[in-house]
Structure 1
Amino acid sequence: MDEGRLTRARRRSVWQTAAAIGAVLLLAGGLMFALTVREQSRTLDAQLRQVLVQAEDVDDPPPGQYLARWPAGGSGPAEVTPAASPELVRVLGDAAGRRDGRFEADAGDDHPVRVLVDRRGDGSRWAVAADLRPLGDERRRLAGALLLAELAGLAGALVAATLLARRAVAPLATALTLQRRFVADASHELRTPLTVLHTRAQLLARRARRRPAAELADDLDRLVADTRVLGEVVEDLLVSAAAEQQPLPETVVDLAELARAVVASMAPYAAQRQVELSVGADPTAPVRGAATALRRALTALVDNAVGHVPPGGSVRVSVTRDDGRVLARVADDGVGLDPADADRLFARFAHGEGGAGRRFGLGLALVQHVASAHRGTVEVAGAPGDGATFTLVLPAA
């Protein structure tokens, strides 16, 4: 439904833009044609006036033109160019009874002519008639050329309008895709924790009616843990969406300090799973970016590692500077990973084998999005049964 609306909006934009450009081209072409016709008419009038001024007799006017002369006082017949047809002689004869100036007439057989009448200083009157058919042919050629130009311009306008409409609608399509992805991510990731939370709350409500409040402490602790997991999922979703759309901040973040803070916050969770969690970092490791997004990425890597280490195992977080880069490594000695899974490690909602953490899924997809947004990469190494190492590589500030 939304794609259909976007398609209709794009088509409507194409036709509206093309119609607007076509109207402008039509207006410009019409104005050009009118100005050209007006200039042609003025040029012809100037030529006729020059002929009347320079003519000494009626025998040899310029090609396509014919002369007539009446003696001073209007006595005697008019002298007319011998090559004039009877219809032209008639038209030139009618000019004797007209005032000085210009008029147009039909010399028969669709033969329009323009006649200019003037009086000389010696009292004689002269008239010159010009064949308008060459001028009409020239105007038709001009109209045809302008029509072809209009059609070519309209075709170009359609192409340009299509490209502009695609570029204009593309952000809307991208926003729609991101919106759908976010909704899909939210529904997928929130379904399980919400179900667990709802079930635990129901059980807790039932037990509260039959047991003393002091005996409900463990159930309340688990309920709090479930709400923490739910909050982390929501935060992952928001950070993932922001990493795809928001520009990279210019804030300087100490990734070493951030890693120590993440390990400190995840230590109780690791201790609960009987996993040794340690950190070793350079004194400082500055990068440019968003502290919140980087913290969630490191948290996702630590959560992923702790969840795939059996009791008694260890997870080591290290942050070092190397040749203009900052490397944040999270290494574990847990179940490891199959190199064949490397291509789908960061696919949304894919699931690995073994462990309680999210070796695949939104957590690692979030890490990849954050790395890309910070002009960095994520490297993976490991083998089945031999642990895994995830390295977040970022440009140093």
Structure 2
Amino acid sequence: MAQTAGAIGVVLLLVGALMFVLTSRQESRALNSELGQVLAMAEDVDDPPPGQVLAQRTAGTDAVEVTPSASPELVRVLDDALRRQPGRFDTDAGDDHPVRVLVAHRPDGSRWAVAADLAPLRERQGQLGVALLVAELAGLAGALVAAALLARRAVAPLAAALTLQRRFVADASHELRTPLTVLHTRAQMIARRARAQPVEQLTDQLDQLVADTRALGEVVDDLLVSAAAEQEPPPDTVVDLAEVAREVVASMSAYARERDVELRVEVEATAPVRGAQVALRRALTALVDNALGHVSAGGHVRVRVRHRPGCVAAEVVDDGVGLDPAEADRLFERFAHGTAGTGRRFGLGLALAQQVAQAHRGSLEVTGAHGRGATFTLLLPLA
């Protein structure tokens, strides 16, 4: 930005200097032309134009006639000028009084000289210089503003990229926490049972462990796709939301048992919606994780998928500490969290669930009260 403003300032300075020189030369030439006309038309020295003084020396004599109003110093300057060859020169007539003198010889042998006060010309040149300086300063200020705007516009893509990067890191840290916790819990359970049971009896649990690792990889893939094309609509494929709910509950059941919380699923036969299965599972997982974090030991969490007119509703109901209805809207803000609950919450899960709902042309609703649990409802159009 400083280099751009400096370059513009140099250009303005050069243009201003050129304008000053050209304008000053034009005014100087105009004054020379005026003095030439005065000498060509002068018949005597008594009535010169304002600000000018005439002098004449008749041929064959040394007598010099000078305009009566001329000062002694100016008379001396004109007397000296009449002794010179025809031409023009600038000099000082005393008391810092600059004058321009033009000398001409006529065919009859007489010599004429006219002196003009240069103070008005110098004053106009000074005013011109000040005006150009003010214009250059204003132009430089405008250049600085323009450079700042251009610089801001130039770095806007970089700022957007950094914002997207921070959001991706935040989303990844939150979204990977729950699958990793479930994976760690299941691995601990298998390790404990492996010491007391034959390996053949652990097949189902090992299959669940493999499924959890696959789900973890899908979460990473979904985060990458979301970061690369956050504004693109989800794919137009039919997804059974009831099956997604079963998968989420099966995946998080071990985590719920570890917290001594009953996690159950109640679904109808099928609940077809259109969208991305991985993203919908991410949203339901975030809602279940939020519920488990706000239910005490011995509590209950229900995942219900039901048909409603024109849509499918996936409800995550808990009997935990509840919530303040006044905080309901704020819970969907990124990094915001309620004042109740003992679970480790970073305020991203609900915001991401709402983002998924909106991307699927649906919505996310919440109801609840202090000490009476909460219900989060994901509403999606029926396929």
TM over 0.5: yes
Match for 2:49: what amino acid? Answer: P
**1:132 deviation in Å?**
0.8
Distance (Å, rounded) in 2 between the aligned partners of 1:199 and 1:368: 28
Q: Deviations over 1:148-188 (max 9, x none)?
A: 34444444544554555455445544433442343243334
| Sequence identity percentage | 58
Deviation at 1:199, TM superposition (A): 7.5
| Counterparts of 2:105 and 2:29, CA distance in 1 | 20
- Determine the structure 1 residue equivalent to 2:115: 129
Among 308, 317, 323, the residue aligned to 1:334: 317
- Asked whether the equivalents of residues 98 and 119 of structure 2 are also in contact (C-alpha less than 8 Å), the reply is yes
Q: What is aligned with 1:58?
A: 45
Provide the C-alpha distance between the structure 1 equivalents of 2:94 and 2:181, rounded to a whole number of angstroms.
97
* Kept in 2: contact 1:281–1:318 (CA 8 A): no
Relative to structure 1, the CA distance from residue 132 to residue 304 in structure 2 (aligned partners, 3 Å threshold; closer, same or farther) is: closer
1:38 aligns to 2:30 (yes or no): no
SS in 1 for 2:56: strand
**Contact 1:270 1:277 (C-alpha < 8 Å) held by counterparts:** no
Describe how 1:131-150 pairs up with structure 2 within 5 A: 131-150=117-136
Q: Secondary structure of the residue that 1:56 maps to in structure 2?
A: coil
State the number of aligned residues: 353
Aligned-residue RMSD, C-alpha: 4.4
Q: Distance in 2 between matches of 1:373 and 1:26?
A: 55
Amino acid at match of 1:147: L
Secondary structure of the residue aligned to 1:23 is helix
Distance verdict in 2 for CA 1:76–1:348, change over 3 Å: closer
CA distance in 2, matches of 1:230, 1:382: 30
Contact preservation (8 Å) 2:333, 2:351: yes
What's the CA shift string for 1:134-156, capped at 9, x where partnerless?
Answer: 21122223223333344444445
- The unaligned stretches of length 5 or more in structure 2 are 254-263, 293-299
Q: Quick one: structure 1 residues 218 and 385, their matched pair in 2 at CA, closer, same or farther if it must change by over 3 Å?
A: same
Conservation of the 8 A alpha-carbon contact between 1:346 and 1:360:
no
Displacement after TM superposition at 1:130 (Å): 0.9
Q: 1:87 aligns with which of 73, 76, 80?
A: 73
Q: Is the 8 A contact 2:57 2:63 kept in 1?
A: yes
Distance 2:185 2:84 in 1: 109
Q: Note closer, same or farther for the CA distance 1:335–1:371 as it changes in structure 2 (3 Å cut).
A: closer
Structure 2: how far apart are the matches of 1:331 and 1:193? 20
On the 8 A contact 2:174/2:346 being kept in 1, the answer is: no
Q: Is 1:275 the equivalent of 2:265?
A: yes
Find the aligned partners of 1:201 and 1:303 in 2 and give their Cα distance. 19
In 2 relative to 1, CA 27–370 (structure 1 residues): closer, same or farther, beyond 3 Å? farther
1:314 correspondence with 2:304? yes
Counterpart of 2:281 in structure 1 is: 299
Deviation at 1:217, TM superposition (A): 1.9
> Which structure 2 residues correspond to residues 7-22 of structure 1 after superposition, within 5 A?
13=1, 15-22=2-9
**Match for residue 350 of structure 2?**
364
What is the SS of the residue equivalent to 2:318? coil
Aligned-residue offset at 1:304: 5.2
Structure 1's unaligned 5+ residue stretches are 1-12, 286-290, 321-327
User: CA distance change for structure 1 residues 312 and 238 in 2, over 3 Å: closer, same or farther?
Assistant: closer
> CA–CA distance in 1 between the matches of 2:303 and 2:177?
30
Q: Which moved more, 1:136-145 or 1:34-43?
A: 136-145
Letter in 1 for 2:378: F
Quick check: 2:283–2:356 contact (8 Å CA) kept in 1? no
Question: Are the structure 2 counterparts of residues 348 and 89 from structure 1 closer, same or farther at C-alpha, using a change threshold of 3 Å?
Answer: closer
CA distance in 2 between counterparts of 1:103 and 1:45 reads 10
Deviations 1:189-244 (A, max 9, x none): 4345446646866887899899876444234213213213322432453355346x
| Contact 1:103–1:114, Cα closer than 8 Å, also in 2 | yes
Distance 1:297 1:352 in 2: 28
- TM-score, with structure 2 as normaliser: 0.71
2:367 aligned residue: 382
| 1:28 corresponds to 2:15 | yes
What aligned pairs does 1:218-229 form with structure 2 within 5 A after superposition?
Answer: 218-229=204-215
Residues 391 and 94 of structure 1, relative CA distance in 2, 3 Å threshold? farther
Cα shift at 1:371: 6.0
SS of the equivalent of 1:83 reads coil
Residues 239 and 362 from structure 1, CA distance in 2 versus in 1: closer, same or farther, beyond 3 angstroms?
A: farther
CA separation in 1, counterparts of 2:88 and 2:200?
Answer: 116
- Kindly provide the amino acid, as one letter, of the partner of residue 335 in structure 1: D
SS at match of 1:334: strand
* Alignment CA distance shift 1:36-1:146 (3 Å): same
1:332-386, CA deviations, whole angstroms, 9 ceiling, x for partnerless residues?
Answer: 37337643551243244648989x9x99954432243356678x67341434568
